[in-house]
Amino acid sequence: MRISQVQRRARLAVRHRVAGKAATPEEAAAAVVALHGTDPATVFLSAGARLAAPGPEPVERALYADRTLVRMTGMRRTVFVVPAELVPVVHHSSTLAIARKERASVLKTFGEGGWDEARLKDVEASVLRLLAESGDATAAGLGRLEPRLREQVRVAVGKPYEGVVSIGSRLLALMAMDGLLVRRARAAGTWVSGTHYWGLAPEMAELAVHEAQAELVARWLAAFGPGTEADLKWWTGWTLKDVRRALAAVGAVTVELDEGAGYVLPGDEEEIAGHVTLADGRRVAAPEPWAALLPALDPTPMGWQARDWYLPQEHRAELFDRNGNVGPTVWWDGRVVGGWAQRPDGEIVWRLLEDAGGQAVAAIEAEAAGLAAWLGEVRVTPRFRTPLERALSRP
């Protein structure tokens, strides 16, 4: 069975809720498995691009009041915001392995300063006790209560990026990776602020690694399928052996793509012209041409390793930074056709990198106006700047 690029773009539109919007932030996040959370603003902008009624309030409520969305380190050591029910799956499939490597790195970095496993464990126990006694606290607040968190070491000595790192900046993140801590409400500023409170993590269901990996692959295939082994290996950060074992566990079906062999969930391989198969097996009409302004690090453009079917090679130098982070993108009918930025006065500006036609221009203008309206007075500068975003953001 062959699935064409046109069919893949239609799936992307419907399954990722960029055409046919979600009612809640939880639905928006689940549509792409997880929202990228390295840049706090991305969470809100990615959710907003998929919500019928965009705005920061429902996302803040889900993150900080209802706690139906959880910020955590996951695949590829990236910070994600995931639906609460998916936390054990991400934790056992990916995060715990990252935590083991991070613990070894912390001990190596701070070893010359007298830090060993026993001392690390003692400070961890102290942090847990303090949070249990005093409630949630910022990293700075915990540093005042537990002075050892403020101890520093100089890293990368003699290199251009030489700097000073505190044990607290590494240890609190490590404790979160181990499932001991969780990031709670933001501490100050607007919703683009990255300062937050740390709190004790709730109890988590136990899962075997292979079970968690199979569940995560099933979620990815439901949202991003079809995809290749290379796509999954890149997205998860796992070994090829782990990817293949998980694909076998879910009974993934092989399909033909332009890139070669791809995989979908059982029953998801057949396509009918003019229709899209949803993740639950229902068939719906393919969407009408659609436009979207997706933020830097959005999970849709970052969802596959092989991107030619939706992101032309000739656009990438303008839209990616040197580390492979995607900037803000303009989409038309399943393809990236340009980029956008916000200027200091709040104006949303965009530029096409190819001729998309008058219908596209009108639709993109409408999307830009809608985005500017719900952003209001908030100004967003991506954490990772790209050439086109920098150029457009200049007054």
Tokens of 374: 């719900």
At 186 the pLDDT is 78
Q: What is the pLDDT of residues 27-60, one digit of tens each?
A: 999 999 999 999 999 999 999 999 999 999 999 9
- Give me the percent of the chain exceeding a pLDDT of 70: 98
Tokens of 17: 């809720």
At 273 the pLDDT is 63
d(CA 166, CA 20): 46
Model pTM score? 0.94
For residue 47, which of 374, 384, 360 has the smallest C-alpha distance? Answer: 374
Give the confidence band of 279 by pLDDT, cuts at 50, 70, 90. Answer: low
Q: What is the pLDDT of residues 163-212, one digit of tens each?
A: 888 999 999 999 999 999 999 877 777 888 888 899 999 999 999 999 99
Question: Are the C-beta atoms of 100 and 158 separated by less than 8 Å?
Answer: no
300 DSSP assignment? T
Amino acid in position 357:
G
d(CA 54, CA 373): 10
274, pLDDT greater than 90: no
Domains of the chain: 85-200 (1.10.10)
Maximum Cα–Cα distance for the chain, whole Å? 65
CA 132 to chain centre: 30
